[in-house]
Amino acid sequence: MTADNTPNNTQDNTPHNTPYKTLTKEALQAQLDALSEEYARIAAKDLKLNMARGKPAPEQLDLSEPLLDVLSSKTDAALLRKKQADDLRNYGGLTGTPEARALMAAIMDVAPAETIVCDNSSLSVMYDTVARAKTHGIAGQTPWAQLGEPVKFLCPAPGYDRHFALTAHFGIEMILVPTSAEGPDMDFVEQQVNNDASIKGIWCVPKYANPTGVTYSEQTVERFAQLKPAAKDFRLYWDNAYAVHDLTEPGDSLASIKTACEKAGNSDLWYMFASTSKITFAGAGISALASSPKNIAEISEQLALRTIGSDKLNQLRHVLFLKDLDGVRAHMKKHAAIVAPKFTAFLEMLDEGLGDLDIGEWTRPKGGYFISFDGLPNTAKRVVQLAKEAGLTLTDAGATYPYGNDPIDANIRIAPTYPSLDELKEAGKLFVLCVKMASLEVLLREA
């Protein structure tokens, strides 16, 4: 497209809030021409905006600066256990310090004895859990690498791209599970899990799901707990990444999968994952794995071959800084004060810019890190491309689906946390523009 400096050289008298689908081909073209000019002007600004990843903003990281001070050479020797056999500076502590286990257990709503504290990155913990199943198996079942047929995982989508990437990496077949505001389609999940022994797991982000922001309903959690899997080594891979990441007061409340599984006589069905990556420092947090005592015993035994223990000083830092669940909640309110206005601003721009056009829907999450946008079919890739070429990097279209393949090419994950509020407004304006243009292009092709 050429940057024509003559503004409004295309006649366009259609009111700008008319639903696109009601427009004539000529009116669609006129709108597209006008928007293309606006796009050219924005593209010329050479913007460098990035909303690709769910990354905390620098101001959020600043909230955890005290984490850098809680431990020093002046710290009480008793806290560091300098004179004890379990000196935190020395080897040991395979499952984490008791205090760190208690802290992470509180965040995950489980018991400390059900919790193993690990190093930075819950993604690693999930990867390792799948890797161990592949090489050593779960609960005495055949290691997946030794099975004649491929293992399958259910993948509620839109979902977390890194779950899907690691699943594909291990050669696990991914089955797309449709989702609604209640969570995954449980009729489909039950039908699959209860009848197919090659299905070994399902990826769930049960609270403020990535990217929809949906929190599973109580009924969904109960139906998960009541599954009667054909595979004895089927597990729920419950990625509780946003357990305490409320943006509103009150936030969503998530039923306890642990309690539900125990009630259903399915105590060993769940693996839960969490981290402080989006609580303290994304680059220097602690993570955790939780499960039934039986599963934890099995995992600990395997883990002992891999390490003598995770970083216990960083565990102590987190305990001294966050203290307990009340401390975590107070801290998360400070995050919300920074993040919520960004969500609000972006949602307002979507409402204002797209509200009447009938070319997209979007979620209004009460927490988490993402807004999920669904445009017209066959527009998502084009929107991301248009945005990219004008200086706004979005998550790749399709990334929220298994194999990077959104069957209708409609979903885009929006990550509003990292940019400043000003950048976000600029990004929102550009995003709205790109959605309009891509929609007009599709409607024009179909007209």
Q: Which of residues 157-186 bind a second copy (CB under 8 A)?
A: 162, 165-166, 169-170
For a second copy, give the closer residue by CB, 37 or 396.
396
For a second copy, give the closer residue by CB, 274 or 282.
282
Cβ at position 200, least distance to a second copy in Å:
15
Cβ at position 124, least distance to a second copy in Å:
5
295-302 long-range contacts, CB within 8 A, separation 24+: 295/139, 295/268, 295/271, 296/95, 296/113, 296/114, 296/115, 296/116, 298/138, 298/139, 299/116, 299/129, 299/132, 300/94, 300/95, 300/116, 302/132, 302/136
Q: Interior CA angle at 374 toward 216 and 355, to 5°?
A: 105
For a second copy, give the closer residue by CB, 65 or 352.
65
Count the residues of the shown chain that bind a second copy, applying the rule CB under 8 A. 59
Cβ at position 338, least distance to a second copy in Å:
14
Cβ at position 382, least distance to a second copy in Å:
27
For a second copy, give the closer residue by CB, 134 or 258.
134
Q: Residue 150: which of 125, 175, 127 has the closest Cα?
A: 175
Contact window for a second copy (CB under 8 A) among 12-20, 244-252, 280-288, 394-402: 280-288
For a second copy, give the closer residue by CB, 338 or 444.
338
Q: Residue 291: which of 112, 103, 106, 120 has the closest Cα?
A: 112
Cβ at position 306, least distance to a second copy in Å:
4
Cβ at position 64, least distance to a second copy in Å:
8
Distance CA 180, CA 385 (A): 27
Q: Encoding tokens for residue 203?
A: 């990826």
**Candidate residues 89, 232, 333, 364; the one interacting with a second copy per rule CB under 8 A:** 89
46-49 long-range contacts, CB within 8 A, separation 24+: 46/391, 47/390, 47/391, 47/392, 47/426, 47/430, 48/391, 49/391, 49/392, 49/393, 49/419, 49/423, 49/426, 49/427, 49/430
Q: Which of residues 296-325 bind a second copy (CB under 8 A)?
A: 302, 305-314
Q: Are 230 and 197 in contact (CB under 8 A)?
A: yes
Q: Which of residues 51-80 bind a second copy (CB under 8 A)?
A: 53, 55-56, 58, 61-62, 64-66, 68-69, 71-73, 75
Phi, then psi, of 174 in degrees rounded to 5 = -110, 130
Cβ at position 69, least distance to a second copy in Å:
5
Cβ at position 82, least distance to a second copy in Å:
6
Cβ at position 317, least distance to a second copy in Å:
10
Cβ at position 119, least distance to a second copy in Å:
4
Q: Which of residues 107-166 bind a second copy (CB under 8 A)?
A: 119-121, 123-124, 127-128, 131, 134-136, 143, 145-146, 162, 165-166
Cβ at position 201, least distance to a second copy in Å:
16
Distance CA 264, CA 281 (A): 37
For a second copy, give the closer residue by CB, 137 or 341.
137
**CB neighbours (10 Å) of residue 19?**
10
Return the SS3 of 237: strand
Contact window for a second copy (CB under 8 A) among 281-289, 349-357, 359-367, 391-399: 281-289
For a second copy, give the closer residue by CB, 14 or 121.
121
Distance CA 146, CA 137 (A): 9
Distance CA 65, CA 303 (A): 32
Tokens 């769910």 identify what position? 54
| Residue 284 makes contact with a second copy by CB under 8 A | yes
For a second copy, give the closer residue by CB, 123 or 380.
123
DSSP collapsed to 3 states, 273-316: EEECCCCCCCCCCCEEEEECHHHHHHHHHHHCCCCCCCCHHHHH
Distance CA 213, CA 79 (A): 39
Fill in the per-residue mask, 250 to 279: x = in contact with a second copy (CB under 8 A), - = not in contact.
---------------------------x--
Phi, then psi, of 115 in degrees rounded to 5 = -125, 135
Q: Are 308 and 94 in contact (CB under 8 A)?
A: yes
Judged by the rule CB under 8 A, the positions of this chain that interact with a second copy are: 53, 55-56, 58, 61-62, 64-66, 68-69, 71-73, 75, 82-83, 87-93, 119-121, 123-124, 127-128, 131, 134-136, 143, 145-146, 162, 165-166, 169-170, 277, 281-284, 302, 305-314
